[in-house]
Amino acid sequence: MQRSLIIPIFAISLALIGSAFTIDKVSSERTELRQKEGVGLIMPSAVAQIIALEFKGLFADIVFSRAMTYYGGKLIRKEEPTDEEWNWIYRNMDVATDLDHYFLDPYYFGAMNLAWGANKVREANALLEKASQYRDWDWTIPFYLGFNHFYFFQDNERAAFYLMKAAKRPGSINLLPTLAARLSYQGKKTENAIIFLQEMLKKTEDKNVRWIYERRLTALKAILFLERAMAAYHERFKKQPEKLDELIAKGVISELPQDPYGGEFYIDKDGSIKTTSEMR
């Protein structure tokens, strides 16, 4: 071997070993740093709109997917996002949809997770209102709005208003006007919620969201089952049972359904069926 080659080869092999060693360290340091970093800064929409130049749509994709992957990382680590992080997610969705007013994913992702995951229905509805204004052909947006008003706010009047709005948009399901009419009957809350959720399930392909819906649907079906059993009990014995066990004792039902959220069903003071898990 030529002598002049020895030093470079030695240097390269040393550096290769060194870099292979350090890249591992770098990636672990980075992971740690990024976890500490937590939620980053939010670029105000006005600034983002200016610096995005002609690539506003692309920018919206990036802002959205950054927040989505952050949330996904939390899910994988089985951590619950903090209040601050939820706000960060909400504002990211807001910025992404300011960059591209018609972009469905941030509206959808934000609205679903804020309402169901963070219990921030107001923020979810703000996103959906914005979506409904721009995506004025898309019936699913007022449909989701109607559901949120009905289910989380118990505001049947607003819910019916949004459902009728959805029904006027092309391609909507035929069921909407009927559902809107049914909402005026206060008593049928559980049944209406089941109909709503079944329709929402039909439109959903994302596994995560389906799982959220399906779990809630199972719980609601269990509650409906118990409500009907209570009604049957009332019919037979002309009084309300005080505990659910009485339903089994008197042979109205053979066993109590399970709460998919891990709680136990009970009869609340006002005579409605509740669960200790509060479906969360």
Partner 1 sequence: MTAVWSVALITFKEGIKNRIIFGIFIIALLLFAATTILTTLFMRDIVKVAVDLSLSTVSFAGLLTLLFIGVNLFGKDLDKRTIYMVISRPVSRSQYLIGKFLGIVLLSFVVVAFLGILSAIPVILSKRFYYYPEARFDWWIYFIAVIYIFIKLAIVSAIITLFASFTSNSFIALVLSLVAYIIGQSTESVRGLLASQVEKIDVSPILSYMVEIAYYVFPNISAFDLKTQAAHGLSINPSYIIWTALYAIFYMTIAVVIGTLAFKRREFP
Residues that bind partner 1 (CB under 8 A): 46, 49-51, 53-58, 60-61, 64-65, 100-105, 108-109, 135, 137-140, 171, 206
Rounded to the nearest whole angstrom, what is the least distance from the CB of residue 112 to partner 1 in the complex? 10
Closest C-alpha to 246, from 258, 232, 260: 232
Q: Which is closer to partner 1, CB of 52 or CB of 267?
A: 52
Rounded to the nearest whole angstrom, what is the least distance from the CB of residue 9 to partner 1 in the complex? 32
Q: Which is closer to partner 1, CB of 102 or CB of 225?
A: 102
Rounded to the nearest whole angstrom, what is the least distance from the CB of residue 53 to partner 1 in the complex? 4
Q: Which is closer to partner 1, CB of 65 or CB of 218?
A: 65
State both tokens at 85. Answer: 């992080």
DSSP 144: H
Q: Which is closer to partner 1, CB of 111 or CB of 226?
A: 111
Q: Which is closer to partner 1, CB of 61 or CB of 191?
A: 61
Single-letter amino acid code for the residue at 213: Y
Q: Which is closer to partner 1, CB of 166 or CB of 267?
A: 166
Query: Residue 43 burial by CB count (10 A; 0-12/13-18/19+): exposed, middle or buried?
Result: middle
What are the C-alpha distances in Å from 116 to residues 19, 26, 227, 272, 274? 45, 37, 24, 22, 18
DSSP-based three-state secondary structure for 117: coil
Rounded to the nearest whole angstrom, what is the least distance from the CB of residue 105 to partner 1 in the complex? 5
DSSP 1-56: --HHHHHHHHHHHHHHHHHHHHHHHHHHHHHHHHHHH-S-----HHHHHHHTTT-H
Rounded to the nearest whole angstrom, what is the least distance from the CB of residue 226 to partner 1 in the complex? 35
Rounded to the nearest whole angstrom, what is the least distance from the CB of residue 248 to partner 1 in the complex? 44
